[in-house]
Amino acid sequence: MGARIQSVSTDGRAVEQAAACLRAGGLVVFPTETVYGLGADALNPKAVARVFEVKQRPRFDPLIVHIADIEWLRDIAAAFPPAARKLADRFWPGPLTFVLPKTDRVPDLVTAGLPSVAVRMPRHPLALDLIRQVGGPVAAPSANRFGHLSPSTAEDARTEVGEGADMILDGGPCPVGIESTIVSLLDPNPLLLRPGGLPLEDIESVIGPLARARHADERPQSPGRLLRHYAPRTPLSLVSAVPPRADRAGAGLLSPGPVPEAGGFAMVEMLSPALDAAEAAARLFSALRRLDAAGLSRIYALEGPERGLWRAINDRLRRASVRDAPDEIPG
């Protein structure tokens, strides 16, 4: 049922077909270096509307527009401040998204009516090739239903949105595994809206200290950044130490690295034996999906150190652990 997965390694024309599909107003699931995206022609409001339907995403949550050439920004962004240029020179293509003032060319539906647009140039060769062949910007949220975990494999994307997509391009597991870092450049002081696949420290090495959005600040800037997000169905507790034996029966443990004494858990997922953050990020969402599918009473997620890519990992786990947040959207 739904869209067939087309492996790019065995089907030489898959990218060409996907580009034609997007140009014709279709929806294509494609790999990026961060997570799989559900793409539509960003300048076609009808196609974009379908993305919201398939994702069951509220219309107030804007999409990221993906480009393959920095020149395309002229069409989309009304300004490109020096800080953005410096960061783009250094990190594009890559897991970094800018929020910039938008032009009239970008449909309001894409930006949920905001006067700003989120833009990024992905680094995945398949994504770049696809967008280049489309010849214009591709709007793509992560290819999961609203509030679910982002997919880092084609198979996970199919489980999430396969019914509603016209095509799924399989480019293997996403090498970064966690969504892009989002920086707002609307004000003179750049603001971190979402920690992600590009570590904060890398950004700060280019433009100096970066202000971080507190949750209360996020709403006007990023209405879609709900506190509860990226959620498995199994209750998840973020913990700073491995829980005592008495709490382990029937529960799962997600740990950043090796745990000396993890007996008694029904299942253990270790993200990186060497405590390597890049490896851990690449494995995070599939590990969470495996734990979620195991019928556990609870998932205990052990916090990683608050630095580098671990920051983004902790952020996702924190959001996954929030139940009944005051601003949670029902359903």
| Site for ligand TXA, rule CB under 6 A | 32, 34-35, 37, 61-64, 95, 97, 99, 111, 114, 116-118, 122, 140-142, 179-180, 182, 193, 221-222, 224-225
> Which of Mg ion, ligand TXA, none binds 111 (CB below 5-8 Å, type-dependent)?
ligand TXA
For residue 299, give the 3-state DSSP assignment.
strand
Strands 28-30 and 167-170: parallel
- By a kind-dependent CB cut-off of 5 to 8 A, residue 62 interacts, out of ligand TXA, Mg ion, none, with ligand TXA
Comparison of 19 and 302: residue with beta carbon closer to ligand TXA: 19
Of residues 141 and 252, the one with the C-beta less far from ligand TXA: 141
Rounded least distance, CB 62 to ligand TXA, Å: 3
**Size of interface with Mg ion, in residues (CB under 5 A):** 1
Q: Is 26 helix (H, G, I), strand (E, B) or coil?
A: coil
Q: Tell me how far, at minimum, the Cβ of 102 lies from ligand TXA, in Å.
A: 7
Q: How far is the CB of 41 from ligand TXA (least distance, A)?
A: 15
- On whether the CB atoms of residues 19 and 130 are closer than 8 A, the answer is yes
Q: Are 163 and 152 a contacting pair, CB within 8 Å?
A: no
For residue 256, cis peptide bond before it (omega within 30 degrees of 0): no
Identify which of residues 194 and 248 has a Cβ nearer to ligand TXA in the complex.
Answer: 194
Looking at residue 105, its amino acid is: R
- Residue 203 CB, nearest distance to ligand TXA (Å)? 15
140 interface partner picked from ligand TXA, Mg ion, none, CB below 5 to 8 A per type: ligand TXA
Eight-class DSSP state of 311: H
CB 140 within 8 A of CB 124: no
CB nearer ligand TXA, residue 35 or residue 40: 35
Diameter of the chain measured on Cα atoms: 59
**Interacting positions 123-142 with Mg ion (CB under 5 A):** 142
**Between 111 and 314, CB nearer to ligand TXA:** 111
Residue (of 188, 177, 67, 53) closest to 117 by Cα position:
67
Spatial contact of 215 and 223, defined as CB atoms under 8 Å apart? no
What is d(CA 186, CA 255) in angstroms, rounded to the nearest whole number? 37
User: What residue 32 binds from Mg ion, ligand TXA, none (CB within 5 to 8 A, per partner kind)?
Assistant: ligand TXA
- The site for Mg ion (CB under 5 A) is made up of 142
